[in-house]
Each structure stands twice: as C-alpha cells, then as structure tokens.
Amino acid sequence: MSLKGKTAVVTGGGSGIGRAISLQLARDGAAVAVWDLNPEGAAETVALIEAAGGTALACPGDAASAAGIARSAALTRETLGPITILVNNAGITGFTPFLEISEDHWDRMMAINLKGPFLCCQQVIPDMLAAGWGRIVNISSSSAQTGANVMAHYSASKGGVVTLTKSLALEFATKGITVNNIPPGFVDTPMLRASPVDVEAEAASVKSPMHRPGRPEDIAAACSFLVSEAAGYITGHTLGVNGGRVMP
Ligand SMILES: NC(=O)c1ccc[n+]([C@@H]2O[C@H](COP(=O)([O-])OP(=O)(O)OC[C@H]3O[C@@H](n4cnc5c(N)ncnc54)[C@H](O)[C@@H]3O)[C@@H](O)[C@H]2O)c1
C-alpha cells in the first residue's frame, strides 16, 4: 500500500486505460478522484474501486475547461484532501486526411489532448509544492514518437504532451515533483475498438511483435511504478509500454 494517505486524480478515468489506472492506484492505497466527461463511466469506476475496498470519488466534468477543472479540484480537495498525484489521461482521437482537418477539429484536439493537461497541471501543482512531493504522469501516444498517418492533429497534440512533460520535469525537479509520460500504441479499449483499426489483423501482423494488443492493465502497471516512491529519481522520461511495437 505504498500510496496510502495520498490523493490521486485520473482524468478520463471512466473508461479504458484511465479506468485501469484508477483501479490500480486505488489498489496501491491512494484515494482516487475520477474526473470524466461521462458521469456514468466515472460512477462505474468508482463503484468498482469501492467494491474492492478502496476509496474513490466521481467528478463528472470537462478536463479541458478551466472552470470544470477548478470545480473538480475543489470537490476533490474537500472530499479526499490535497492532490499530489495527477494522471492526465483524458483524450480524444481522430482519423482525418490532413487536407480535410477543419480548424474547429484541430482546436478541439488541442483543447482536450494538450490544453487539458496544461490546465490540470496548473491547478494541482500548488498542492504538490505545498506537500514537497508530487507525481504527474501524462498519457501521450506512440504517434508522438513515430507520427501517424491521417492523424496529424492527434499526433501533434500528443507531441506537445511529451514536450510539456519534459519542460515541467525540469521546472519542478528540485521541488520533489516528477513528471513523466507513457505513450501507448495499440491498447484494447473502447477508443481503439471505435477506430478504423482492425484489431485482430493488426495484432497478427509484424507490427505487433507480441501478437496481441496492449491491455489497459499493462499501462496501469507502468503508471503505478512511475507514481511510486521507487521512481523518485525518474523524471522527464518517456516509458514505452507497447509490446515492442516502438523502439526509439
Ligand atoms: N487505446 C489506445 O490504443 C491508445 C493509443 C495511444 C494513446 N492513447 C491515449 O490513452 C488515453 C486513454 O485512451 P483510451 O483508449 O482509454 O480511450 P477511451 O475513449 O476508452 O477513454 C477515454 C476517456 O476520456 C474521457 N474524456 C474524453 N474527453 C474528456 C474531457 N474533455 N474531459 C474529461 N474526460 C474526457 C472519456 O469520456 C473516456 O471515459 C487517451 O489520452 C488516448 O489518446 C490510447
């Protein structure tokens, strides 16, 4: 129970990777606030955590809006205490040929995938500074490492997440706060299943050395390590959890 007494926020914790991370951090002993646009998804994750004996709070809201984030942060602090672990996981994807990406679509991608983590970090880092301890994990994407066909808006937003990670790691390195990112590539979640990717064919192809998609729990295990005491000397790092699909 290495995270006992700590409060964690997981954005997009109502589905897929965010749900698995929320469940893992709760198993590690943290009280977990599940921030998600989808109230039912957030409530389901909280119910799963509570059924397993953990402590959790659902905060329905937009993790890309300053007002929504401020409301969720206030409710989290009031109910669970100061926030010293933040996992910026909420995100949307998109598959559109570059010349057809509208300005609105570009702006929405940047707002949720990149501005959201910026706003969430600004909201919770003061708690971490006050505690002299903090852990931030940003869920980026392997598309930030390789580029991705018909995903220029998505991969550009995730590239921004990687450089945001490195810059914050530098700025807060002396303050007991580590900032790292995990770039998933091919993880079996509702987002992947809703995409044009043929999951079974992709898993069987040479692109997937392990011949299987990632599981949300694979990402959660790495996140659990990065927020632990044991990872205290790791910051600004990109921890690939991809079954060998990307070896930079
Ligand atoms: N699944 C993959 O293969 C894959 C690959 C690369 C990166 N990722 C990244 O992993 C993260 C999680 O993806 P997933 O596959 O679990 O997706 P998912 O669609 O299953 O879950 C995403 C969750 O984020 C929530 N969300 C979306 N916008 C939000 C907002 N503005 N505010 C609050 N919540 C919001 C959704 O309601 C949903 O519960 C995303 O950032 C995604 O880009 C996933």
CATH number where 156 lies? 3.40.50.720
The reply to whether 72 falls in a domain is: yes
Q: Which residue segment(s) compose the domain that 172 sits in?
A: 7-231
Q: Which of 11, 15, 44, 138 to mutate to test the pocket of ligand 1 (most atoms within 8 A of CB)?
A: 15
3-class DSSP state for residue 33?
A: strand
pLDDT value of residue 1: 55
Does residue 248 belong to any structural domain of this protein? Answer: no
Atom of ligand 1 nearest to the CA of 91: 41
Is 117 domain-assigned? Answer: yes
User: Would you please indicate which residues are annotated as catalytic (active-site) residues?
Assistant: 154
Q: How many domains does the chain have?
A: 1
| 245 inside domain | no
Distance 92 CA to ligand 1 centre (A): 6
Over 60: is that where the pLDDT of 153 sits?
yes
- Could you tell me which residues come within 8 angstroms of residue 37 by beta carbon, excluding any fewer than 6 positions away? 12, 14, 60, 61, 62, 63, 90
225 — pLDDT class (breaks 50, 70, 90): very high
Q: Which amino acid is at 191?
A: M
Residue 248 pLDDT grade (very low, low, confident, very high; cuts 50, 70, 90) = confident
Residue 107 half-sphere exposure toward CB, CA atoms < 13 A: 3
Kindly report the pTM of this predicted structure: 0.98
Do residues 168 and 203 touch, judged by C-beta distance below 8 A? no
CA of 246 to the centre of ligand 1 (A): 20
pLDDT(22) > 70? yes
CA 82 to ligand 1 center in whole angstroms: 25
